[in-house]
Structure 1
């Protein structure tokens, strides 16, 4: 039930929490160690994003694990397997396609998230691998480019549509990978 409550929290609240609580904490810890941490770091946004997608993955994985037929569990117990062996060697392999699907769905949602990143990681169009710097994402750049009155054929509008196309292609590729993984490990049960 606590995870279900986390799933109902709006992303704006997560972003507000990241900007006012997590980011200053990370900056304080970084400065006490001697690191130069931006007040709007990618690490703060990433941590809060991870907290946001935990309910998705856990709830969907729980449903998938509960959907594994009881006959498989009973057959494993009948062959002398312990409870932990049944979980490791029967239930998890049977539920693996659904668990992979849940993870891919959560990753796709995280890729398209705007509010947490806009509030916690900043708007700096900075290409870096350092999680302590301020960064932005494709979705935030789309919002930034489309603010204001512009004509449809202006470079800003066309750049926003190109970024949208890139975001669509990345999400589509992730979905194809998830489908291939699910098809590879899927088994049909009666």
Structure 2
């Protein structure tokens, strides 16, 4: 299989699963949400999506001429891939440990909570870097629009906690936009499968 098709397929499928998993997520994090029928599925689906993105994103910026990745986008993509992978244990924790009252609080009060918080902050910062790099230097209009979508998603996620609405009404649409943006990156990469591999990253 062509590496560009593989990379684009991983990121595209990951973007879809990341969006779908977040759509399945209840609007709030509370005891009622823990018993929702989609609670476990939501976290496992978007965690799987994140792992697929983590596997394919560095290949996308290395091989896809459509991205014409700047150094900002390249560094952002690599860090974003690592951050997506780092979020997976937290998603598993949310799915299976958070409903266990007492245990969850002990883990969150210790190193587990600190690591998950740090991974989340790195994820948002790298989303901004990758999105800005694509919006600035993307080789095709859909790629530049994908970069704008990632930037919009990141800004909404950063500012959202200050809005007087239920958190899910902010987080879910923003993460869906991010997933669609990553799907666009994957599709653009797969479409360049017949082009020669670029010699350098600008």
Same fold (TM > 0.5): no
Greater C-alpha Rg: 1
Looking at secondary structure, tell me which structure has more helix per residue. Answer: 2
Report which structure shows greater RCO (CA 8 Å, sep ≥6).
2
TM-score, normalising length: structure 1? 0.32
